[in-house]
């Protein structure tokens, strides 16, 4: 049984996650450590992945961006419906290449493109009616062919460990943990 496991965890990632072309993007919990050494976490979309790692996009002025710049050690947690599977990635975050960041913005829905422009603290203070009016006015003025805002940023998380948890209706859950070493990925099994 052991020798049937992929020696490369990317085979499992490709098997578990939808392809990058799928417009329905997976959600994941991004855990970071603040400059004050406190843990923080929030849900973000996985924009895409490749053999280098996992890409996410956000506002350069956000807390998570500040956290990742101060402390690149992060974790990503993916959970599948029905608690059937969980993938936890530990890794190092770095700013993604500019072309990748631009391509991810171009791929975002018209709503998310506009949100990236209006996702400010000042805007968040306004009552809903006012936010609706300003949202509609922005759309009327700019249409949906928006350029990338200056605060749009992307991060690449290069994994150092990937842990695949699977449940089973008639057997204990267990984890396959792949750790990156100088000689490639090392697999070990852990209880659930
Ligand atoms: C389902 C879902 C998907 C989200 N996707 C993103 C995303 O891809 N990028 C992002 O910046 N925020 C996303 N958010 C909002 C974040 O969870 C978070 O509230 C926001 O980015 C501010 O986080 P921060 O203050 O910790 O930086 C998403 C929220 C939800 C509920």
**How far apart are alpha carbons 100 and 96 in whole angstroms?**
7
Q: Long-range contacts made by residues 6-11, C-beta under 8 angstroms, separation at least 24?
A: 7/184, 7/185, 7/187, 8/185, 9/159, 9/162, 9/164, 9/176, 9/178, 9/185, 9/187, 10/51
- Indicate which atom in ligand 1 lies nearest the CA of residue 32: 26
Ligand 1 mean position, distance from CA 76 (Å): 13
**Count of domains for the chain:** 1
- The enclosing domain of 39 has a CATH number of 2.30.110.10
For residue 17, give both structure tokens: 């996650």
Is 134 contained in some domain?
no
Query: Is residue 127 one of the residues assigned to a domain?
Result: no
Question: Taking the CB of residue 23, how many other CB atoms lie within 10 A of it?
Answer: 7
Per-residue pLDDT of the chain (192 residues; tens, 9 = 90+): 445 688 999 999 999 999 999 999 999 999 999 999 999 999 999 999 999 999 999 999 999 999 999 999 999 999 999 889 999 999 999 999 999 999 999 999 999 999 999 999 999 999 999 999 999 999 999 987 899 999 999 999 999 999 999 998 899 999 999 999 999 999 999 999
Whether residue 140 lies inside any domain: the answer is no
Q: Provide the pLDDT for residue 143.
A: 86
In a domain, 99, yes or no: yes
Q: What's the CA-to-centroid distance between 64 and ligand 1, angstroms?
A: 9
Task: Kindly state the helix (H) or strand (E) to which residue 129 belongs, with its residue range.
Answer: helix 128-142
Ligand 1 centre to CA of 8 (Å) is 30
* pLDDT of 145: 84
Ligand 1 neighbours, Cβ below 6 Å, are 27, 40, 42-45, 56-59, 62-64
- pTM for the full predicted model: 0.95
Domain limits for position 47 = 2-108+150-191
Say if 113 falls within a structural domain: no
User: Which numbered atom of ligand 1 lies nearest the CA of 45?
Assistant: 8
Residue located nearest, by CA, to atom 13 of ligand 1 = 44
Q: Is residue 137 part of a domain?
A: no
- 85: CA distance to ligand 1 center in Å? 22
pLDDT attached to residue 4: 66
Going from the Cα of 52 to the center of ligand 1, the distance in angstroms, rounded, reads 23
Q: Is residue 117 one of the residues assigned to a domain?
A: no
- Specify if 132 maps to a domain: no
């Amino acid at each position: 049984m052991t020798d049937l496991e992929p020696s490369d965890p990317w085979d499992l990632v490709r098997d578990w996650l939808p392809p990058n072309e799928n417009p329905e993007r997976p959600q994941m919990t991004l855990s970071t450590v603040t400059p004050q050494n406190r843990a923080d976490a929030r849900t973000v979309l996985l924009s895409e992945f490749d053999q280098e790692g996992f890409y996410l996009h956000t506002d350069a002025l956000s807390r998570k961006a500040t956290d990742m710049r101060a402390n690149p050690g992060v974790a990503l947690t993916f959970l599948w419906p029905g608690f059937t599977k969980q993938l936890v990635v530990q890794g190092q975050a770095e700013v993604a290449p500019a072309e990748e960041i631009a391509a991810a913005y171009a791929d975002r829905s018209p709503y998310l493109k506009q949100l990236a422009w209006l996702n400010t603290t000042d805007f968040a203070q306004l009552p809903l009616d006012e936010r609706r009016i300003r949202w509609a006015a922005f759309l009327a003025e700019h249409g949906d062919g928006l350029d990338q805002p200056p605060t749009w940023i992307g991060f690449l998380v290069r994994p150092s460990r990937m842990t695949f948890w699977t449940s089973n209706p008639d057997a204990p859950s267990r984890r396959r943990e792949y750790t990156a070493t100088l000689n490639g990925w090392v697999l070990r099994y852990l209880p659930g």
